[in-house]
Structure formats: structure tokens, C-alpha cells
């Protein structure tokens, strides 16, 4: 026995669904980063070689590509262990206290990001219904940027819940 506790069937199934979502979202986030870099490169070339900069690219990058590359990668980063964490104190505290903190704060974070997903879903729906637009050289619709944050926060809260449950189950359900 390796000391690894097998995930219950439901958690294993939810983890599989979450992994599929995360893999799709990290692909989209990476694609958004590549697009932002390519557009920035083209703008620099147009600005300094042809003296004709792209006037529309700033809103595209700040409204869609940056939030997408940021929020859509949250859940994947948590799954891979690439998120910011403080391990220094974990080794100095009692195991039961650490387990309790992971459970409580994991549930609080899950609720918080679920609330963020919910409110941004409402904001995206409202912006879509009202055809909310940011005017400029190009008129940009607002709802996609709100929807990106909602989707990223939803999948992140899903991963937080799965991670919190796994941490609890891996400790044998004891606090």
C-alpha cells in the first residue's frame, strides 16, 4: 500500500469532468496569450516601421484576452500545484490544525469564488440583454469579458471544492 487513499466514485467522476474543463480552458487561455503577443507585435511593427499603429487593439487585449488568460488558467494552476501557497507554516503547525484550516478555508474560498461566478454570470446576462457596449474606434460588447470571469471562477470553485474534499478524505475524514 502506498498510503494513497482512493477517491470515492462521485469525487473521481467530478474530478474527471473538472479536468476536461480545465484542459479546454487552459488551451483557450494559452491561445489568448499567443493572440495578445501577436497583436502587440503587429502593432509595434505598424507603429515604428509604417507609422500607422493599430488603434483598436488595446480594448481587445484588456477586455477579452487578459482576463481570459488570467481567469481561465486559475483552476488548472490549482490542479497542477502552481498556485501561490505558503508551505513554511504548514510544517510548523500541528497536523490536525492544518487539516482543519485546509477544510475551513477551502470551503470559504469555494463559496467566495462560487459567489463571484454567480455575480459575473448575472452581470454578463444583464450586459447581453441590454447590449452594453464600450465605444471607441471599434464598439466592443461587454458581456464576453464578464462571461469569461464567470466561467473561470465557476471552474475554479469546482476545483477548490474537489481539492478540499480530497484533502479531507486523504486525512481519513478526521480533523
At 37 the pLDDT is 97
First to last CA, the chain: 23
Grid coordinates in use for 52? 500607422
CA 128 – CA 145 distance, rounded (Å)? 11
At 93 the pLDDT is 85
At 7 the pLDDT is 66
57 alpha carbon, distance to own chain's centre: 23
Q: Which residues contact 79 (CB under 8 A, 6 or more apart)?
A: 18, 19, 22, 159, 163
DSSP secondary structure code for residue 132 in this structure: -
Q: Which residue has the cell 464600450?
A: 134
Q: Which residue has the cell 509595434?
A: 44
Mean pLDDT by 10 residues, the chain (175 residues): 59 95 98 97 95 91 96 96 77 86 95 98 98 93 98 98 90 60
- Give the domain ranges of the chain: 9-83+91-170
In sequence order, the β-bridge partners of residue 140 are 134
Amino acid at each position: 500500500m502506498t498510503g494513497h487513499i482512493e477517491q470515492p466514485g462521485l469525487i473521481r467522476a467530478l474530478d474527471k469532468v473538472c479536468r476536461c474543463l480545465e484542459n479546454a480552458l487552459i488551451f483557450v487561455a494559452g491561445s489568448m496569450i499567443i493572440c495578445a503577443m501577436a497583436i502587440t507585435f503587429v502593432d509595434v511593427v505598424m507603429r515604428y516601421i509604417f507609422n500607422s499603429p493599430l488603434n483598436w487593439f488595446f480594448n481587445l487585449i484588456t477586455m477579452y484576452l487578459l482576463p481570459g488568460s488570467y481567469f481561465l488558467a486559475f483552476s488548472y494552476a490549482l490542479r497542477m500545484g502552481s498556485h501561490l501557497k505558503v508551505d513554511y507554516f504548514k510544517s510548523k503547525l500541528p497536523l490536525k490544525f492544518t487539516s482543519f484550516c485546509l477544510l475551513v478555508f477551502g470551503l470559504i474560498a469555494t463559496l467566495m469564488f462560487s459567489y463571484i461566478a454567480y455575480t459575473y454570470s448575472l452581470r454578463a446576462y444583464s450586459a447581453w440583454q441590454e447590449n452594453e457596449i464600450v465605444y471607441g474606434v471599434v464598439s466592443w460588447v461587454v458581456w464576453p469579458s464578464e462571461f469569461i470571469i464567470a466561467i473561470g471562477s465557476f471552474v475554479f470553485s469546482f476545483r477548490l471544492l474537489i481539492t478540499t474534499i480530497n484533502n479531507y478524505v486523504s486525512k481519513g475524514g478526521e480533523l
